[in-house]
Amino acid sequence: MSGLNPETLAQAKQLLSLYPHRRSALIPLCHLAQSQDGWLTRQAMCDIAELVGITPAEVLGTVSFYEMFHTEPIGRYLISVCTNISCMLGGAYDLLDHIKKRLKVSPDGTTSDGLFTLQEAECLAGCDKGPCVTVNHRYVDANTSDTFDALVEQLKAGSLEDTIPVHGVLIRVKRERGREAVKDDGVEVAT
């Protein structure tokens, strides 16, 4: 199982320099590591723990709290379908059934080609457009069988890569600056 590769490790060290306290970089480092492999490997979490100065269990505790982090491999495209009450009333279960048949996969499963992982989501905060569907945590207009099928073809063709980055990439903006730590009566504070 791979940890942070040399390029990602260099980016991680640069990222650490932006924070007055190393621990403050934990979540951005997890985003960075996940963008490397599409999920957070055990070794990557150990590498992050060492960089930040905490235990791997603390990294896992943070990662497992946030739904956008993955500790198991997922497909190139994570498709999430909301089945909460508003979306359910809008036909979420019919859409989910269609998606399962189209992709030949159950929720929390990945297609045999590794392209799609299907996830039944609790709430995606798109109640007014239900059923709400996201791909790699980006909202998409695919709330009918026909619009979903068109979406699958676009994803397979790679025509949406400008708007939907590959799995694991949550942040596409690289931070160049951070907040300087200064001493205020002997206590470091961020300015």
Domain boundaries, the chain: 6-71+170-190, 77-157
Q: What is the mean pLDDT of residues 44-69?
A: 95
- Level-2 CATH architecture, domain 6-71+170-190: Orthogonal Bundle (1.10)
pLDDT at 150 over 50: yes
Identical fold for domains 6-71+170-190 and 77-157, yes or no, is: no
Q: pLDDT band at 28, cuts 50/70/90?
A: very high
Which two tokens mark 53?
A: 């100065």
Chain length of the chain:
191
Q: What is the mean pLDDT of residues 43-48?
A: 97
Instruction: Answer whether 82's CB lies under 8 Å from 130's CB.
Output: yes
Strands 77-82 and 116-121: parallel
Q: Write the pLDDT tens digit of every residue in 96-106.
A: 999 999 999 99
List beta partners, residue 183: 188
The Cα–Cα gap between 4 and 12 comes to 9
The Cα–Cα gap between 22 and 16 comes to 6
Q: pLDDT band at 155, cuts 50/70/90?
A: very high
Fold for domain 77-157?
Glutaredoxin (3.40.30)
For the whole model, what pTM was predicted? Answer: 0.79
CB contact set of 176 (below 8 Å; sequence gap of 6+): none
